[in-house]
Structure 1
Amino acid sequence: MAGDDFKVKKTESEWREQLTPEQYYVCRQKGTEGPGTGQYDQFFRDGKYHCIACGEELFSSDSKFDAGCGWPSFDAPAVAENITENRDASHGMIRTEVVCSNCGAHLGHLFPDGPTETGMRYCINSVSIDFHSEES
């Protein structure tokens, strides 16, 4: 990730100190958590999902749905400007990578196979997001 493109700029050492090893692997090294292992896959409470690395608001529970794929899925970002989409040609396929626009954290991938009117499925790693409840 090109750190010059993002508002939040930290050294890799600073990221390692802030993030857990799994969060670092996913957010900084573009890894993926195992399907069905993330805490937010089958989690449906009202609230907002923020970037684990910088706190930027990314998704709302209003756009979350169960895609049955093993990762939390959303049909749209809460704030479009907070998500950056990049072409990802890794692993012998062409996909759309989704990153936090504020800090560059890898969040997951975007697929054009969602069941709602947007037709989109933001397939997001649980370790890359933090849930903030709307319930008191």
Structure 2
Amino acid sequence: MTRPVEKTDAEWQDLLARKGAEPAAFQVTRRAATERPFTGRYEQHWADGSYHCVCCGARLFDSASKFDAGCGWPSFSQAAEPGAIEERVDRSHGMVRTETVCAHCGAHLGHVFPDGPGPTGLRYCMNSAALQFEDQ
């Protein structure tokens, strides 16, 4: 699939290094790794602002939709705007889940589950290493 932003692995690694991204950012965003629960910098982050893709800068979530799911990862009830997040079936690790990726660059973000609060009933369970926060 062609996306608005495409780069080689070396270009992504260089870009993330220049941005000062977390060490796990490349493995999380480009290899679908998952950071350990309760270790991400945004898991207990409650400032007003927006969360963007660490790779391409696309706005993904607003702080108003962030909630404490108790799962160990930053959780949101909805994307910042329709079409910001793409969903895929993920059959890895002997499970069937719904993977979330940045619609702009294809960066792996985490997974979405149908056990969140209203009005959407969704829990977007994201890796902090895939996000970059911007104050409001």
Q: Is 1:7 matched up with 2:9? A: no
Tell me the secondary structure at the aligned position of residue 81 of structure 1. Answer: coil
- Residues 48-63 of structure 1 correspond to what in structure 2 (within 5 A)? 48-63=50-65
Which amino acid is the alignment partner of residue 15 of structure 2?
Q
Residue 78 (structure 1) shift: 0.4
Cα offsets for 1:76-126 (capped at 9, x unmatched):
000121110000000000000000000000000000011332110000000
Residue 6 (structure 1) shift: 1.1
- Higher alpha-carbon deviation: 71-80 or 15-24: 15-24
Match of 1:94 among 93, 96, 111: 96
Alignment partners' CA distance in 2, 1:31 and 1:79: 25
Which amino acid is the alignment partner of residue 111 of structure 2?
H
Aligned counterpart, 1:64: 66
Which amino acid is the alignment partner of residue 95 of structure 1?
R
Aligned counterpart, 2:20: none
Alignment partners' CA distance in 1, 2:39 and 2:134: 20
- Residues 70-109 of structure 1 correspond to what in structure 2 (within 5 A)? 70-109=72-111
The share of aligned pairs that are identical, in percent, is 54
Question: RMSD value over aligned CA atoms?
Answer: 1.0
After TM superposition, the score normalised by the length of structure 1 is 0.93
- Residues 7-46 of structure 1 correspond to what in structure 2 (within 5 A)? 7-20=4-17, 21-46=23-48
* Structure 2 unmatched runs, 5+: 18-22
Alignment partners' CA distance in 2, 1:102 and 1:126: 18
* Structure 1 unmatched runs, 5+: none
Which amino acid is the alignment partner of residue 54 of structure 2?
I
